[in-house]
Chains A and B, each alone.
Chain A
Amino acid sequence: MSEGLEQVKQWILKRHPERTDIAPDTDLIDNRLIDSLSFVEFVFLLEQLSGRSIDMDTLEVDEIRTLAAIEEQFFKAEVH
């Protein structure tokens, strides 16, 4: 797991103290780990960690649905 994605996971865990871990394929939306309000802040976080600007108008839900998808979409370069 890249450093950026680990920070993303810790950000979510901090807001959900009932959880101790999040599996890479856990559906963040369906499990209500990210809701509409936190989504906006979440995109802000992804921009800061990935160094990329994210257009919320074109962002697809599947791009942020799981940690695995987020790594693929925003932190893939760090894996190489």
Chain B
Amino acid sequence: MSTRPVARSPGGPGWANLGMDIVSVTRVQRLLDEHGEHFFTRMLRSGELEDCSTGTGLDLLGLCGRIAAKEAAFKTLRVRNQLLPWRDIVVRRADGGWPLVELRHRAARMAAEVGIQGITVSISHDVDYAVAVAAPIVGEPVAVSGTGSNGPQHTQPNQHSEEYPHVRGS
């Protein structure tokens, strides 16, 4: 039952939808306090959790940033009636420190169906909030059959130069 008015969506060849998200450190801290670190394995893979761990424990802002990045990346897909496939949108830390998005399984299929070849993302945080903005790398839509979780993996090309054009060629 939709209760909000809707407008016709623009689109067409070359059209790219940005995604953005903001995550409250307070909310994530509460989840951590109430459910423990293991709770976040429902949202992040082990490598992602390692990326936002420090010698003294979990880097809360880093964790919030990854959560925001996943949501922002998902928003670029503009899919209807789909729950965010948290663990299929993988946000890892590149050697240079910038985030890399890797789409797997359901997320990869959703992206392929709308012609998204990859997603580039940027994360920022300060004290109480982490934010992320994501942009899709658009190609041709691919017909994908089935909705299971064993599809091909999907990785993004040229993430470094898209995310940090000032280091292109370095």
Interface residues, chain A, with chain B CB atoms under 8 Å away: 25-27, 30-31, 36-37, 39-41, 43-44, 56-62, 66
User: CB distance B4 to A30 under 8 Å?
Assistant: yes
User: CB distance B86 to A56 under 8 Å?
Assistant: yes
Contact of B2 among A27, A37, A56, A59 (CB under 8 A): A27
User: CB distance A36 to B31 under 8 Å?
Assistant: no
- A36 closest partner in B (C-beta): B84
Query: Taking chain A's interface residues, is the majority helix, strand, or loop, or is none over half, making it mixed?
Result: loop
Contact of A27 among B1, B43, B106 (CB under 8 A): B1
A56 CA to B106 CA, complexed, in Å: 11
User: CB distance B43 to A40 under 8 Å?
Assistant: yes
Q: Max chain B CB contacts within 10 Å: which of A25, A37, A41, A57? A: A37
User: CB distance A57 to B85 under 8 Å?
Assistant: yes
Which residues of the other chain, B, contact A44 by a CB distance below 8 angstroms? 35, 39, 42
B-side interface residues, number (CB < 8 Å): 26
B153 contacts the other chain (CB 8 A): no
Q: Interface readout for B79-112 with A: 1 if CB under 8 Å, 0 if not? A: 0011111111000000000000000011000000
User: CB distance A37 to B3 under 8 Å?
Assistant: no
User: CB distance B35 to A41 under 8 Å?
Assistant: yes
B78 contacts the other chain (CB 8 A): no
Q: How far is the CB of A41 from chain B (nearest CB, A)?
A: 6
User: CB distance B3 to A39 under 8 Å?
Assistant: no
User: CB distance A27 to B3 under 8 Å?
Assistant: yes
A27 CA to B23 CA, complexed, in Å: 23
Given contacts A57-B88, A57-B105, 5 further A-B contacts (CB under 8 A): A30-B2, A31-B3, A37-B28, A44-B35, A57-B106
